[in-house]
């Protein structure tokens, strides 16, 4: 038996979540039984999709649903050795016992930091890769707009599009993120949607229109992008973070889809198992060569997970939001 902690949802948020919606709960984690492993969490992924789940799917007084990387602390399972690193979807638990189902042994490249397996080489990376190249059917040299371009998915999307010779415009909510996107990631134009009037700024930044709008935000962003879409344009719908806390603005410009023959298509990260091998080969090479750069915001301490989740809706993360529980 080992002392451990879990992050629970203790009441359903009303709008943007607040600290009091969550609790850090002390628990005792049993030792691994026959055919089981006991795991200690190393990194926890903090993602926008968690917010809509808090309205219904996330059970109250249970560990928050989510994924991360953990280390095998005890093994009585033939498939795992003590010290192995695994990806898991066991939620926000400092330690937990598993029969091995849903655990994926991770063999990180020694030349890359482990954290990249939580973003560029993890779920947000394949979301960006599959969403842009397959759903967005990106062609070399096209005109691309990416919302939330300073975040985990958006920053990868924008840089893959640059690697494909595209003209890339990004939106973000801070001057620091805008400067990184321009000066480090090499975007052609960046709009701070909090300090500029989005629709005219986007019109000025996209003189040749938009072939692919990679949608992460919804609401006013979608409304600004729709009239700029070129004929046969594509809108891969990855997320609509501006709507996740309820409210949000309605979208008025959907009629632009009609004469523009624009295709709008939602997708989820798990749609791309067939791309996994190619994605890992490409992304590993791009990261090692420095062609894809990244930012990450890492909060140290298991108990900081609620702060990290709330921070996503205040734009406190540059790149991927992570919680580090131990090295």
Ligand X SMILES: NC(=O)c1ccc[n+]([C@@H]2O[C@H](COP(=O)([O-])OP(=O)(O)OC[C@H]3O[C@@H](n4cnc5c(N)ncnc54)[C@H](OP(=O)(O)O)[C@@H]3O)[C@@H](O)[C@H]2O)c1
The label of the residue with tokens 């930012």 reads 295
What is the smallest separation between the CB atom of 297 and ligand X, expressed in angstroms? 8
| Binds ligand X by CB under 6 A, chosen from 47, 94, 188, 211 | 47
What is the smallest separation between the CB atom of 126 and ligand X, expressed in angstroms? 9
Classify strands 143-146 and 167-172 as parallel, antiparallel or unpaired: parallel
What is the smallest separation between the CB atom of 193 and ligand X, expressed in angstroms? 7
Identify which of residues 58 and 242 has a Cβ nearer to ligand X in the complex: 242
> Quick one: CA dihedral 191, 126, 282, 132, positive or negative?
negative
In the stretch 250-269, what mask flags binding to ligand X with x, by CB under 6 A?
A: -----------------xxx
What is the smallest separation between the CB atom of 175 and ligand X, expressed in angstroms? 10
132 touches ligand X (CB under 6 A): no
10 touches ligand X (CB under 6 A): no
Site for ligand X in 151-180 (CB under 6 A): 151-154, 172-174, 177
What is the smallest separation between the CB atom of 318 and ligand X, expressed in angstroms? 8
What is the smallest separation between the CB atom of 303 and ligand X, expressed in angstroms? 21
What is the smallest separation between the CB atom of 117 and ligand X, expressed in angstroms? 15
Identify which of residues 53 and 76 has a Cβ nearer to ligand X in the complex: 53
| Binds ligand X by CB under 6 A, chosen from 150, 233, 236, 306 | 150
Identify which of residues 177 and 228 has a Cβ nearer to ligand X in the complex: 177
How far, in Å, CA of 169 to CA of 187, rounded?
6
One-letter-per-residue 3-state SS of the chain: CEEEEEEEECCCCCCCCCHHHEEEEEEEECCCCCCCEEEEEEEEECCCCHHHHCCCCCCCCCECCCCEEEEEEEECCCCCCCCCEEEECCCCECEEEECCCCCEEECCCCCCCHHHHHCCCCHHHHHHHHHHHHHCCCCCCCEEEECCCCEHHHHHHHHHHHHCCCEEEEEECCHHHHHHHHHCCCCCEEEECCCCCHHHHHHHHCCCCEEEEEECCCCHHHHHHHHHEEEEEEEEECCCHHHCCCCCCCCCCCCHHHHHCCEEEECCHHHCHHHHHHHHHHHHHHHHHCCCCCCEEEEECHHHHHHHHHHHCCCCCCEEEEEECCC
Q: Of 102-110, 135-143, 181-189, 234-242, which part binds ligand X (CB under 6 A)? A: 234-242
In the stretch 192-231, what mask flags binding to ligand X with x, by CB under 6 A?
A: ------------------------xx--------------
In the stretch 50-89, what mask flags binding to ligand X with x, by CB under 6 A?
A: ----------------------------------------
What is the smallest separation between the CB atom of 302 and ligand X, expressed in angstroms? 20
Q: Which residues bind ligand X (CB under 6 A)?
A: 47-49, 124, 127, 148, 150-154, 172-174, 177, 216-217, 238-242, 267-269, 312-313, 315, 317, 320-321
């Amino acid at each position: 038996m080992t002392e451990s902690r879990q992050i629970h949802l203790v009441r359903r948020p009303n709008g943007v979540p607040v600290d009091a919606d969550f609790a850090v709960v002390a628990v005792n984690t049993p030792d691994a039984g026959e055919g089981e492993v006991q795991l200690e969490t190393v990194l926890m992924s903090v993602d926008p999709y968690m917010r809509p789940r808090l309205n219904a799917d996330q059970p109250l007084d249970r560990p928050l649903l989510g994924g991360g990387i953990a280390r095998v602390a005890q093994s009585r399972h033939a498939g795992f050795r003590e010290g192995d690193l695994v990806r898991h979807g066991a939620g926000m638990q400092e330690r937990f016992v598993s029969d091995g189902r849903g655990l994926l042994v991770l063999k990180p490249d020694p030349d890359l930091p482990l954290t990249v397996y939580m973003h560029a080489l993890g779920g947000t990376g394949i979301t960006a890769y599959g969403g842009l190249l397959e759903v967005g059917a990106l062609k070399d040299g096209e005109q691309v707009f990416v919302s939330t371009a300073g975040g985990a998915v958006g920053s990868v999307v924008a840089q893959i599009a640059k690697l494909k010779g595209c003209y890339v415009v990004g939106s973000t909510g801070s001057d620091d993120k805008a400067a990184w996107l321009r000066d480090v990631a090499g975007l052609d134009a960046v709009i701070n949607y909090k300090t500029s009037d989005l629709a005219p700024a986007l019109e000025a930044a996209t003189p040749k229109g938009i072939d692919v709008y990679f949608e992460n935000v919804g609401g006013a962003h979608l409304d600004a992008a729709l009239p700029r879409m070129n004929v046969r344009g594509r809108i891969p719908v990855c997320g609509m973070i501006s709507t996740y806390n309820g409210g949000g603005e309605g979208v008025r410009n959907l009629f632009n889809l009609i004469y523009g023959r624009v295709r709008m298509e939602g997708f989820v990260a798990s749609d791309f198992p067939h791309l996994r091998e190619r994605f890992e080969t490409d992304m590993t090479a791009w990261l090692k060569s420095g062609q894809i750069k990244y930012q990450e915001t890492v909060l140290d301490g298991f108990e900081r997970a609620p702060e990290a989740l709330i921070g996503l809706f205040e734009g406190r993360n540059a790149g991927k939001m992570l919680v580090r529980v131990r090295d």
